[in-house]
Structure 1
């Protein structure tokens, strides 16, 4: 496969996954902001959302204050913010158009229709009228694109590069979400709290985190217990059966990297395998004892390095 084609497929999948993850993060923050809380707490939530995506510097250059309306506009419909849902869906569609011949008709039509329909929904004012409905639509379209890919694409190199892009992006976003949300509860033992009110706030905080990655029901099924922060971290990091966990994402990255491996990619595959092994054999008590923030920061650095290695080995013209 031409490196140019692989590059378009890889980034098409990453941008679609990024659009979904951005929708999930904004949706859970929007729902949380509707709970009884001080204006300062609500503002901190929106600041945390911007910091997850490393967008605070760009935002503060253009807006004087951090508030729900401006943050949602900036992260959903702003054509000048390359990480907005608008730009991600546009980029996914443009990458798909560039490699139209490598895709099935169903995959191309899903990408194209998603972009066109999103523009129609934005022009209709849905973001202002019902943000939750717009975010659910973005998540549904991302699910649809993955389902159509799985159901219609030949499982060749084109398929594998899409899967690598999807799960590398998902691992990055899950790690960012965990890092910021654990910081937000100011952690030594996250809500070891202050009476019933503290416990109630903790419950809503952690259930919102779980819902943002569609893991609330999964948590109940796996742990059959009250929501505890250390168990949330374990589920989203170390449980391979959880489709948005870090270890599951790395399982998929390694599997698909091996399927497209070449003479130049052994070091990249080794690094991916080592990162997966650290998660596969890790224990949450050890991670918390040494510092969750430090662990996740290192994980994000290693994922970024892995993305560079993939680009160097497969996506850049030799």
Structure 2
């Protein structure tokens, strides 16, 4: 497979995962903001924009943090290259570039979702349509992943697409956890309070893990348990442990197809050894922020090594 085709598949699914994760975070932030007073709601929107890396761009254009301004900036603003509309445009662009390497079912799922999303975001999104629009974005991800799982050969293209998915998913969950400690919680005095519990519930909702966590923990919400669940529980498909296990499997499949390993495989083994050797107590002793920064740096290094090893720009 040409490096450019591999690159297109890898980034097609990175952008798809990024758009879907942004929609999940927006949905959780919206539900939290609707239950808060104006000042607290503004903090919720500030935290959502910070998590998605859009705060600086938003503040350069807007002086206040109203819900409608925030979600329209995140969803559709023409001056925002990280908007959901811009990201899904990149999904479709990459799908067109690799059209011969994907199935008709996958192309149709992407193209139809793009046309629907483009129509819904052609005009400002009011409060009566925002949840419907967010649902469209989330559904687009579900349809694309389902089409790929049900129609693509388990060859190179499939494994590059899955590698992109899990690289992006791991980065997103790590960023959400990191922002929780440094932006969502206004003061250490709130730890253990109802506000703290509500914000941790938001973290679970933003990764669609609230029902699974409650089922496993009899409905109890606590910061330590949630961190352990999102970092180390390899049963949950958005945990860091699950993402890296899936990434390892797809990289191993690529090594078998190519008959050799590269730098990304060595980095993956080092990351596996590091993550599997830690318990949640060791992570908190090290510092959650420090652990997550190290994890994200390692994750980015693996992504860069994949691009080099498989000559994405060749």
TM-score range, shorter chain: over 0.9
Q: Deviations over 1:143-174 (max 9, x none)?
A: 11101100000010000000000110000100
1:207 and 2:201 matched? yes
Matched, 1:114 2:113: yes
Partners of 1:278 and 1:222 in 2: how far apart? 25
Once residues 295 and 197 of structure 2 are traced to their aligned partners in structure 1, the CA distance between those partners, rounded to angstroms, is 27
Aligned match of 2:98: 99
1:77-136: CA deviation from partner (whole Å, max 9, x where unpaired):
023322111011111001001111111100000111111010112236555422112112
Alpha carbons 1:13, 1:162 under 8 Å: kept: yes
Distance 2:40 2:293 in 1: 24
Q: What is the DSSP-based 3-state SS (H/G/I as helix, E as strand, rest coil) of the residue aligned with 2:310?
A: helix
Partner of 1:34: 34
Which residue in the other structure is 1:71 paired with? 70
Shift of 1:204: 2.3
Question: In structure 2, how many angstroms separate the alpha carbons of the residues matched to 1:101 and 1:281?
Answer: 42
Report how far residue 273 of structure 1 moved. Answer: 2.2
- Give 1:202 shift: 3.0
Q: Take 2:307 and 2:267, find their aligned partners in 1: how far apart are those partners?
A: 14
User: Which residue number corresponds to residue 271 of structure 2?
Assistant: 275
Larger deviation, residues 302-311 vs 88-97: 302-311
Q: Are 2:246 and 1:247 aligned?
A: no
Give 1:89's aligned residue: 88
Question: How far did 1:290 drift?
Answer: 1.7
Contact 1:47/1:56, CA 8 A, preserved across alignment: yes
Contact 2:6/2:312 (8 A) holds in 1: no
Task: Report the more deviating stretch, 78-87 or 255-264.
Answer: 255-264
1:190 is displaced (CA, Å) by 6.3
Paired residues of 2:68 and 2:126 also in contact (CA < 8 A): no
Match of 1:195 in 2: none
Aligned twin of 2:297: 301
Contact 2:167 2:243 in 1 (8 A): yes
Distance in 2 between residues matched to 1:293 and 1:189, nearest whole Å:
18
- How far did 1:251 drift? 0.7
Question: Shift of residue 41 of structure 1?
Answer: 2.4
- Residue aligning to 2:252: 258
Shift of 1:263: 7.3
DSSP-derived class of the 2:191 partner:
coil
Q: Do the aligned residues in 2 keep the contact of 1:75 with 1:83 (CA within 8 Å)?
A: yes
Aligned to 2:151: 152
CA contact 1:127–1:134 (8 Å) conserved in 2: no
Decide whether aligned partners of structure 1 residues 56 and 315 sit closer, same or farther in structure 2, where only a CA change above 3 A counts: farther
Deviation at 1:260, TM superposition (A): 1.2
Gaps of 5+ in 2: none
Closer, same or farther: CA 134–317 of 1 in aligned 2, 3 Å: closer
The offset of 1:213, in angstroms, is: 1.2
Residue segments in structure 1 that go unaligned for 5+ positions in a row:
193-197
Q: CA RMSD in A?
A: 1.9
The residue aligned with 1:191 is: 191
Using the TM superposition, give the Cα deviation of residue 188 of structure 1 relative to its aligned residue in structure 2, in angstroms.
Answer: 5.7
Residue 203 of structure 1 and its aligned partner are, at CA, apart by 3.0
Map Cα deviations across residues 213-232 of structure 1 (whole Å, 9 max, x no partner). Answer: 11111112222251111101
Q: Tell me, in whole angstroms, the C-alpha distance in 1 between the residues paired with 2:106 and 2:190.
A: 43
Paired residues of 2:263 and 2:309 also in contact (CA < 8 A)? no
Aligned equivalents of 2:218 and 2:274: distance in 1?
A: 27
What is the TM-score of this pair, normalised by structure 1?
0.92
Question: Residue 47 of structure 1: CA displacement?
Answer: 1.7
Distance 1:35 1:260, change over 3 A: same
Partner of residue 6, structure 1: 6
Partner SS, residue 123 of structure 1: coil
